[in-house]
Amino acid sequence: MPSGKLYSIADLHIGYAQNKLAWSRLKPHPGDGLILCGDVGDSAEQLRSAFSKATECFDTVWWCPGNHELYTLPNQSGSGTRGVQKYQECIGIAREHNILTPEDDFVVWEGEGGSAVIAPIFTLYDYSFRPDNVSLEGAVPWAREQNIEATDEFLLHPDPHFSRQNWCKVLVEKFETKLEAARKQFPSLPFVIANHWPLREDLVTLKFIPRFSLWCGTKLTDDWHRRFNAIVVVSGHLHIRRTDWRDGCRFEEVSLGYPQQWKKCADMGLGVNELLREILPGPEIIQPGEVPTRWRIFG
């Protein structure tokens, strides 16, 4: 287990040439660990490429899936697997590179920042991030009223589950049980929970596409940071880098995003090495209370 710092980044989307080039310039981090928090790429080839570079540069790497890893693309060659089978295919690729996944035992970090349980999870979403006056059945039509519809509706299949929200429910129950067992196993240790989707609806601020919130998580995980003694919760998906505090827990959104979304950094000569977010030890601990969101361009 690394003895140095723990970093994270999400939404590498290395299918984009500029992102792939940026990731190829990742510098070695001997003694450090890295959490890849989903949406690394859209294909097995992209996953292998990104995983190879990550394990070349970091001593230990964790990965949790995003929606893009689960896509079954129309022009996809090979098996064209869907749903749970596609997820298991991604797990297999991670294990080819000795990368820890949500399907592996949670392990204890002993690096800077003190001991902590590193807990990558996978929850999907259930369309519950919506106003009270919008029904589940009316949720997607409500988003379409503003010309918003996630690509997931066409490429992310829930097989063998009946629906994505049903798959989400199964996943939430699975990882709730796993986190509870780990909390009992390590009652004195704080947790670092990593999930592609935010655990709380109040951390989803989408100024230009607010109704995209439907595809951003589930209300079932709202209190997990308290229940499971989290010191940090890491997520991606939003492509909006931010740091928040809730109940003394630090929430980090660590996306790189599409090339145009980090262009300002690129224009400043900054790349993925500057956009890696330090999770542990991280910034100075904030005392409980109302702390404003810190919107981050990099770091």
Can you give the CATH number for the domain in which 196 is found?
A: 3.60.21.10
Burial status of residue 97 (CB atoms within 10 A of its CB: 0-12, 13-18, 19 or more): middle
> Do the Cβ atoms of 117 and 184 come closer than 8 Å?
no
Domain of residue 179 covers 6-295
Residue ranges of the chain with pLDDT lower than 70? 1-2, 76-79, 285-290
Residue partners of 161: CB distance under 8 A and separation at least 6: 83, 84, 167, 170
Residue 252 placed within a domain: yes
Q: Please tell me the predicted confidence (pLDDT) of residue 3.
A: 74
Residue 1 placed within a domain: no
Q: Please tell me the predicted confidence (pLDDT) of residue 9.
A: 98
Burial status of residue 77 (CB atoms within 10 A of its CB: 0-12, 13-18, 19 or more): exposed
> Do the Cβ atoms of 66 and 236 come closer than 8 Å?
yes
Q: Into how many domains does the chain fold?
A: 1
Q: Rounded to the nearest 5°, which phi and psi values hold at 155?
A: -120, -20
Q: Please tell me the predicted confidence (pLDDT) of residue 75.
A: 73
Residue 42 placed within a domain: yes
Q: Please tell me the predicted confidence (pLDDT) of residue 286.
A: 63
Q: Please tell me the predicted confidence (pLDDT) of residue 287.
A: 62
Residue 120 placed within a domain: yes
Q: Please tell me the predicted confidence (pLDDT) of residue 298.
A: 84
Q: pTM for the whole thing?
A: 0.96
Residue partners of 130: CB distance under 8 A and separation at least 6: 139, 142, 213, 214
Q: Is 118 helix (H, G, I), strand (E, B) or coil?
A: strand
Q: Please tell me the predicted confidence (pLDDT) of residue 284.
A: 78
